[in-house]
Amino acid sequence: MYKIKGSIWIEGGDGAFIGIGRIKLLEKIGEFGSITVAAKSMKMSYRHAWELINSMNKQAKRPLVETTAGGVGGGGTRVTPEGEKAIKIYKDLQKRFHLFNEKESKKIKL
């Protein structure tokens, strides 16, 4: 009858580091290879997307998103292996959090 819900995020040295919105942004950058397109797909300003990426890159040991300039193939933005790892870590954490919530939901007698 009652259901426990919640939200969960990871804080680093500067406060917010990784949460559900930032992970979605990383996934969209991986999908589109472009911050502009990723931000647009989330109805987010480029500036805000860039600030989120900057915040993540500064707080992680290595950047989660990398932008390469010009060259033969043109510039591009990619999610680094550390970025992929961050996505997996957050999603695994969320799975365990959902299990916690399900288990706790069954205990509530009110």
CB nearer its own copies, residue 2 or residue 46? 2
CB of 4 to its own copies, least distance (A): 6
DSSP character for 80?
A: -
Is 82 one of the binding residues for its own copies (CB under 8 A)?
Answer: yes
**Tokens 């990426």 correspond to what residue?**
53
Three-state DSSP state, 13: coil
CB of 100 to its own copies, least distance (A): 5
Q: Which residues contact 90 (CB under 8 A, 6 or more apart)?
A: 10, 18, 19, 20, 23
Q: How many residues bind its own copies (CB under 8 A)?
A: 29
> Binding marks (x or -) toward its own copies, 42..71, rule CB under 8 A?
------------------xx----------
Q: Which residues contact 70 (CB under 8 A, 6 or more apart)?
A: none
CB nearer its own copies, residue 48 or residue 88? 88
Q: Applying CB under 8 A, which part among 23-31, 39-47, 67-75, 94-102 lies near its own copies? A: 94-102
Q: Which residues contact 62 (CB under 8 A, 6 or more apart)?
A: 80, 82
CB of 39 to its own copies, least distance (A): 23
